[in-house]
Chain A
Amino acid sequence: MPTLLLVEDDIALRKQIRFSLEENFTVLEAENRKEAMDLLKNNSVDVVILDLGLPPNEGTPEEGLTILSSILNHYASKVIILTGQKTEGIALEAIKSGAFDYLLKPASMEKILFSVERAILFQDAEEELERQGIKKISFDIEIGKGLQPLRDEADKHVILKVLKDTNFNIYQSAKILGVKRESLYYFLKKFGLKRTHDD
């Protein structure tokens, strides 16, 4: 059964959404960033339904966007934003960061379920492709600045992905990428890639 993490500080609402989902999914619940990150660390989560206005700053999307960024940087989970924070800027920022979907409250349960099912479908498809050795890498690039920034960005993302997969093992990464270790060190320096605490 796919695992779903529900990050929502309104417990009454969280329980109702949980009730709708728990027949088909293993549902985990978190009401703040710490709880969400702890659950992500200890479980393999396929989809996260994320509210943006979370304590201690419920009035701003800041806390939610921080969680979104942590998830996308460290986990393969798909993130569906379910929020009352309606501004084009926030939606754009969330989607640009890599959120799978952006649903505005109040969203019908049918819509939420449909989005979750789509996210699972994409997740399964990506896992299948990964098994075949094909990895999906996405990044944003400004069109019209020539091909060099595109190549650099592609190189950077491929290298970062492989490094993460190998837990920053330089020997293994160089082998997978088919380059010499010296070349990999050169790229690490060029792109300023460092092993972060969470990696």
Chain B
Amino acid sequence: MTIELIYPFFILTGLVIIGVLLYLRHLTRKAMRTILEMIDLNAKLEYDLHQFLPKTLPFLKKLKIDDLFYTIHYLDTTIQGSTASPGEVVEKTIQREDYRITVGLVPRHTTGEQHFINMIVLEILSILIEMNVLIKIKVIHEALYKFSKLQAFLIHDVKNLAQFIGSLSYNVHHLETSEKKERFINYLEETLPVISRSSAKIIGLLEVRGETDVGESPPSAIDLKSRLENLAKHYKLSYTITGQASIRAEESMVISIFDNLLKNIYDKFLQEPDVTCRMDIIDLGDNVKIVISDTGNLKADRNRLFEPFYSTKKGGLGIGLYQARNIAHAIKGEIRVLPQESGTAFEIILPANVTM
């Protein structure tokens, strides 16, 4: 027997190995493609388990998995789907503090390479389900947290408003003399700008999720220097102001932008009494640029200043600057924080004539 006689066996064995490898490659590519399609579907369905799980079966069938069953408990919610006639199954359970996931597959068979495909699909499906559950829990927790913060602020403002109306009503019934009437009107006149700002603030909170509405009344000319000075005086800030310009826009919206910025400086001033404020008004023709800066320490992350519900204040709602930027955008303006080493500076650019 010569060596030549063994060659056909070598060739045959080689061909078999190549055939097996090609088959496995085909299987793996098919499995991977199908898994990627499932991942893609999950993203398209916005990680919603209720929609995603029932739609996975056609993909699984391509991988010789006949059925899928699952029971998912999270936040007092149960999602369940099960096969009518489970044969041999592979399943996995994930138990955590906030959720419990049981997912199982009913494969056509569990031998050979199918066993590994079953295990890979089960693992990936479990990861996708767990990820979706975690996203859901996080979204719900965040939404509840933000809602409760918003509610607390609204309740606080509404209670103050109710107290104001109650006191006002009491006082109106006790205006016995002309001196009292005059004094009463003086107090009202003195506080009228604050009442307008409070009302704009409450409306702003109610519209926090939507586009800020614009007023219907024709815009009037606003002298920016006097309005900024009034606000700075109201907050008792130590300030300097340069330049002068006026814009035509709805006053309550423009004031609301500046009020949010100066209130932040006032909060800093309460903790750092040396804080000073500088306001520069620059007339650019079609636009007006206002730079408002202060010397206080910026505790917040500069990149997150306009992020809604981000606040470094204890119990802070974190909506002021977000609201200011929304209003600026609504009147086709812009507001941004300027890079600087110390203190904080905001640049606000507003059109000189706001046309809606």
A and B part of one assembly: yes
B44: Cβ under 8 A from any A Cβ: no
Query: For A1, what are the chain B residues with a Cβ–Cβ distance below 8 Å?
Result: none
Tell me how many residues of B have a C-beta within 8 Å of chain A: 38
Q: Mark B247-267, 1 if CB is under 8 A from A, else 0.
A: 000000000000000000011
On whether the beta carbons of B163 and A107 are closer than 8 Å, the reply is yes
With A16-B167, A19-B184, A60-B315 already in contact, the answer to whether A32 and B270 are too (CB < 8 A) is yes
A44: Cβ under 8 A from any B Cβ: no
A10: Cβ under 8 A from any B Cβ: yes
Q: Mark A79-112, 1 if CB is under 8 A from B, else 0.
A: 0001011000000000000000000011111100
B96: Cβ under 8 A from any A Cβ: no
A78: Cβ under 8 A from any B Cβ: no
Stretch from B22-30, B33-41, B149-157 contacting the other chain: B149-157
The distance in angstroms between the C-alpha atoms of A85 and B163, with both chains bound, is: 13
Band of interface residues on A: 20 to 34
On whether the beta carbons of A15 and B187 are closer than 8 Å, the reply is yes
On whether the beta carbons of A59 and B163 are closer than 8 Å, the reply is no
Contacts across chains A and B counted by CB atoms under 8 Å: 95
Stretch from B191-199, B286-294, B326-334, B348-356 contacting the other chain: B191-199
B7: Cβ under 8 A from any A Cβ: no
On whether the beta carbons of B198 and A16 are closer than 8 Å, the reply is no
A20: Cβ under 8 A from any B Cβ: yes
Q: What's the nearest-Cβ distance from chain A to residue B169, in Å?
A: 9
Q: Which of A15, A20, A33, A82 has the most CB of B within 10 A?
A: A15
Stretch from A50-58, A152-160, A164-172, A189-197 contacting the other chain: A50-58
On whether the beta carbons of B163 and A13 are closer than 8 Å, the reply is yes
On whether the beta carbons of B313 and A16 are closer than 8 Å, the reply is no
Mark B residues whose CB is within 8 Å of A.
Answer: 149, 152-153, 155-156, 159-160, 162-168, 170-171, 174, 183-184, 187-188, 190-191, 194-195, 198, 234, 266-268, 270-271, 273, 313-317
Show 16 residue pairs from A and B whose CB-CB distance is below 8 angstroms, ordered by the A residue: A10-B194, A12-B191, A16-B168, A20-B171, A20-B174, A56-B270, A57-B314, A57-B315, A59-B153, A60-B315, A62-B315, A84-B156, A84-B163, A105-B160, A106-B162, A109-B171
